[in-house]
């Protein structure tokens, strides 16, 4: 498990972290950490999901994909991917 974290200890610092999968449509959040298996964490980092980067949530779904905007690019994420991205 690779932990790409701004604080080194997401969720226990000054900013409460929540999985991206729980954020509603139309919200803007900041990436706090990525907690996922190493191969997925590296892939998400390459897509722009690194601590401190803003994410605009376009479409969320309980069963289907998430659509977000990161660094000007519109991306589709699976539930598994969205659960590993901690935001505030």
Give the DSSP H or E segment for 68: strand 66-70
Count of other CB atoms within 10 angstroms of residue 53: 14
- Strand-pairing partners, residue 59, are 67
- The chain-wide mean pLDDT, for the chain, equals 88
37-61 pLDDT tens trace: 999 999 999 999 999 999 999 999 8
In angstroms, what CA-CA distances link 11 with 46, 54, 62, 65? Answer: 23, 17, 23, 25
Contact 60, 23 (CB under 8 A): yes
Q: How many domains does the chain have?
A: 1
Residue 46, domain CATH: 2.30.30.90
Structural domain containing residue 22:
2-87
Q: Is 82 helix (H, G, I), strand (E, B) or coil?
A: helix
| Global pTM value | 0.82
């Amino acid at each position: 498990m690779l932990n790409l974290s701004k604080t080194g200890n997401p969720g226990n610092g000054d900013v409460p972290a929540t999985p991206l999968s729980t954020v509603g449509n139309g919200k803007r959040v900041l990436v706090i950490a990525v907690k996922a298996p190493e191969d997925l964490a590296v892939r998400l980092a390459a897509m722009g999901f690194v601590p401190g980067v803003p994410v605009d949530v376009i479409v969320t779904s309980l069963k289907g994909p998430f659509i977000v905007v990161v660094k000007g690019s519109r991306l589709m994420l699976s539930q598994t991917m969205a659960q590993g991205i901690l935001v505030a």
